[in-house]
Amino acid sequence: MTLLLVALGAAVGAPLRYLVDRAVQNRHEGDLPWGTLVVNVTGCLLLGFLVGGAAEGALSGSLVALLGTGLCGALTTYSTFGYETVRLFTTGLRLGALLNVTASVAAGLGAGYAGVAVAQALWG
């Protein structure tokens, strides 16, 4: 049953990642991968919230499998983040590559922490 929940979440997360990435990227000029940043930070926030809720006993393991492992796993994309960072670096946009890494890591960790904090505030 868990495998099916993960697959269902991923079936929603992957197309959602594509649509959000394109929508965000189409609104921003320049070379920085804003769409990837948005999906990754959003996924970190949601996963933090889910894990925090599960730790407080408010959310089931099945919901975490569906939305955390499935949806967030397909929504977020470390491989694209890595590729886009290397692309920035190799095309001479070294400052952009550094900015992409710094912003992605800081915002992702902050969003994960914020998600846990919100869950604890709601159910702790």
- The answer to whether the CB of 17 falls within 8 A of the CB of 77 is yes
The reply, when asked if residue 76 is annotated as ligand binding, is yes
Contact in structure between 37 and 75 (CB atoms under 8 Å): no
In our burial notation (b when 16+ CB lie closer than 10 A, e otherwise), range 38-51 reads bbbbbbbbbbbbbb
Residue 43 and residue 76 in contact, taking contact as beta carbons nearer than 8 Å: yes
Task: Tell whether 73 is in a known binding site.
Answer: yes
Residue type, 87: R
Q: What is 29-61 written as a DSSP string?
A: -SSS-HHHHHHHHHHHHHHHHHHHHHHTT-S-H
Known binding-site positions = 73, 76
Known binding-site positions for Na(+) = 73, 76
